[in-house]
Amino acid sequence: MSLATRALRHRFLSALEGIGDGRLTVTTPEGTRHHFGHQGTEADLHIRDWRLLPRLALRGDVGLGEGWIAGDWHSDRLEGVLTVALRNLGSLGGWGSPGRLQAWRMRMVDRLVRINSRRGSLRNIRAHYDVGNEFYQLWLDPGMTYSSALFAPGDDLEGAQARKNARILSRLSPGESLLEIGCGWGGFAEAAAERGHRVTGITLSPSQKGYADARLDGRAEVRLQDYRDVTGRFDNIVSIEMIEAVGERYWPAYFAALKARLAPGGRAVLQAITVPDAEFSVYRRRSDFIRQHVFPGGMLPCDAAIAHEAEKAGLRVRGNLAFGQDYARTCRIWSERMQAERPRITRLGYGETFLRGWQYYLDGCAAAFGTGRCDVVQVELAHADERG
């Protein structure tokens, strides 16, 4: 072991002494076991290769995910490890943050290379959603809903996804025409059509459009179209976990489109993943594993940012429901189902690196929602000059 690695090992193990919330057992490549913390979530981290430490020192939490994908470390309780990490970020001696040069490089990639112009949005969306419908079918619910469910006692995933759709539909105006911005594989469009709405759904993913067209069979119109290119007015607009892919630079255009497309007396309902208001100023100045490797061009808003952008566009918030713990539960179910289907996913041609990346993403999201680092909200908007 080199002197540099020895120094990093000493720094790393010393930093873990600061764990105050949770219990972590670390096994080194040599087989030595170290125990940190005394109470709370219990997790184990097996370091397979000390090259993990340079990754962490250079790229912080992004390096942690990259190290997992590369096999530098493993855990049978991945969500637990990430939960302990999130709950102790302030006492880990900076190991969760990238170095200044790496942080700057990642921000430049996010802001310049992955910009959500019309062309950039096509590239960014297809990078995530066009990996293959068969892959998603193996672990999503039968309705192919790729957003948080809303659970009630006794619900399975399919029932909770139906409950989520039903709540959104209950918040709309009486009008029939409905625009869905980011319609995915058509699950909500199908539910809305069954309730008598005349649905126009838009997506940038050819794979999603093909699937949605087949399932809806003429009961709704599905377009391969950017939200900025839609014309006309609709009695209602629904956009479920699409704002995260817009990018902060384009939030004004997104809310202006909502304003322009929403008919008088209409309602717009957004389901959005958010970060806490108090943490947004820090979050927006950095990158993370999801923006680097999962959702290129993505950016989470906070509640205050949604309200502010809506107000600038001439809209106002009429209601807000938060249910982040339901998203933690949704992600856990997705992760469990994906792990159970690993043999079939492998037979489809997806390799171990791909699967480890998705496992890290899903378990990381479960940890983020479970610890309150992220939330999910349904926000109801109306024209600002309308009362009632």
Residue 144 lies in a domain: yes
**For the residues 246-262, what does the mean pLDDT come to?**
95
- Domain span at residue 346 reads 115-383
- Work out the pLDDT band at 101, boundaries 50, 70, 90: low
Residue 271 lies in a domain: yes
β pairing state of 221-224 and 234-240: unpaired
Residue 106 lies in a domain: no
Residue 63 lies in a domain: yes
**For the residues 7-11, what does the mean pLDDT come to?**
89
If asked whether residues 85 and 172 sit together in one domain, one would say: no
Domain with 47 in it: what CATH number? 3.30.1050
Q: Tokens at residue 133, please?
A: 């419908």
> Looking at residue 57, what is its pLDDT?
86
**For the residues 82-109, what does the mean pLDDT come to?**
72
Work out the angle at residue 203's Cα, subtended by the Cα atoms of residues 202 and 204, and round it to the nearest 5 degrees. Answer: 140
- Work out the pLDDT band at 4, boundaries 50, 70, 90: confident
If asked whether residues 93 and 132 sit together in one domain, one would say: no
If asked whether residues 357 and 329 sit together in one domain, one would say: yes
If asked whether residues 252 and 301 sit together in one domain, one would say: yes
If asked whether residues 368 and 248 sit together in one domain, one would say: yes
If asked whether residues 153 and 253 sit together in one domain, one would say: yes
Its sign, for the CA torsion 252, 261, 306, 296, is negative
Cβ atoms within 10 A of the Cβ of 101, count?
9
> Looking at residue 192, what is its pLDDT?
98
If asked whether residues 121 and 90 sit together in one domain, one would say: no
Number of domains in the chain: 2
User: Of 45, 68, 98, which residue constitutes the final position of a domain?
Assistant: 98
If asked whether residues 46 and 136 sit together in one domain, one would say: no
- Work out the pLDDT band at 99, boundaries 50, 70, 90: low
374 in active site = no
Phi, psi angle pair for 341, to nearest 5°: -100, 15
pTM as predicted:
0.91
> Looking at residue 231, what is its pLDDT?
97
Using the structure block, give the residue that is written with the tokens 């159970």.
340
Residue 110 lies in a domain: no
Q: Residue 260 contacts by C-beta under 8 Å, 6 or more apart in sequence?
A: 233
Using the structure block, give the residue that is written with the tokens 């690695």.
5
Residue 107 lies in a domain: no
Domain with 320 in it: what CATH number? 3.40.50.150
- Work out the pLDDT band at 59, boundaries 50, 70, 90: confident
If asked whether residues 48 and 127 sit together in one domain, one would say: no
- Residue pair 16/26 in contact by the 8 Å Cβ criterion: yes
Q: Tokens at residue 382, please?
A: 């109306």
Is the pLDDT reported for residue 131 higher than 80? Answer: no
User: Of 98, 132, 165, which residue constitutes the final position of a domain?
Assistant: 98
Is the pLDDT reported for residue 259 higher than 70? Answer: yes
Please state which of the ranges 185-194, 293-302, 362-371 shows the lowest mean pLDDT: 293-302
Is the pLDDT reported for residue 127 higher than 70? Answer: no
Q: Tokens at residue 301, please?
A: 């808003």
> Looking at residue 371, what is its pLDDT?
97
Express each pLDDT in 205-242 by its tens digit.
999 999 999 999 999 999 999 999 999 999 999 999 99
User: Of 98, 131, 154, which residue constitutes the final position of a domain?
Assistant: 98
Express each pLDDT in 170-203 by its tens digit.
999 999 999 999 999 999 999 999 999 999 999 9
If asked whether residues 212 and 325 sit together in one domain, one would say: yes
Query: 307-335 burial, b for 16+ CB within 10 Å, e for fewer?
Result: bebbeebebbbbeeeebbebbbbbbbbbb
If asked whether residues 215 and 293 sit together in one domain, one would say: yes
User: Could you tell me which of 43, 87, 95 has the C-alpha nearest to residue 67?
Assistant: 95
Catalytic residue among 302, 331, 365, 374: 365
Is the pLDDT reported for residue 110 higher than 70? Answer: no
Q: Residue 168 contacts by C-beta under 8 Å, 6 or more apart in sequence?
A: 188, 238, 240, 269, 271, 378
Residue 201 lies in a domain: yes
If asked whether residues 179 and 30 sit together in one domain, one would say: no
Residue 108 lies in a domain: no
